[in-house]
Amino acid sequence: MERISYSREKMNLVRDNIQKMIKIVGELEAEFPGRHFTLDGHLVGSIGEVLAAYYYGIDLYEASTQRHDGSIDGREVQIKITQQDNILISEKPDYLLVMYMNKNGNVYEVYNGPGDLPWDTASKRDSHNNRHMRVNKLMKLDADVEETKRIPAVIPIEKMKKEFKNR
């Protein structure tokens, strides 16, 4: 498979197009009060994966690879991104990288570290054994991750704060 370059220009293209989509979402929500047109599913997942490749230098696996989305320095990583207040983990990852995208298209790091602690402390499990994690809880878990257990960012990314959340 051909190695893709994750340049600043490509990330600017991603950001510009995300901002267009967010504008469209705002227009639809204004036109249909009470309906939520959040960007989610495969679209946001793929956005998170290319952003992780850019910010952290992660080599991505083929789309829809089970359990992990990529690897770096021998560490397999599951990548999650959300615009809401939670994420879903379907299998225990070796490493977990969680990002948050607010309605302005800004992206923040929520959790960066070993996947066992989020998996083991997930507050809600559904009938398929998926684990649901709240962003606030992931932020608290992240505060205790040792620096040596993080995936180092090659491009600086700001840490998530409660005030950055979408309302």
Q: 104 and 20 in contact (C-beta within 8 Å)?
A: no
Q: What is the pLDDT of residue 110?
A: 98
Beta carbons within 10 angstroms of residue 128's beta carbon: 7
Q: 76 and 95 in contact (C-beta within 8 Å)?
A: yes
pLDDT per residue as tens, the chain (167 positions): 566 788 889 989 988 998 899 899 889 889 888 777 777 767 788 888 999 999 999 999 988 788 999 999 999 999 999 988 999 999 999 999 999 998 888 999 999 999 999 999 987 778 787 899 999 999 999 999 999 999 999 999 999 999 999 87
DSSP structure class, residue 104? T
Kindly list the domain boundaries of the chain, sorted by start residue: 8-164
Q: What is the pLDDT of residue 2?
A: 61
Q: What is the pLDDT of residue 1?
A: 53
Q: What is the pLDDT of residue 129?
A: 79
CA max distance for the chain: 48
Q: What is the pLDDT of residue 5?
A: 81
Q: What is the pLDDT of residue 166?
A: 83
SS3 96: strand
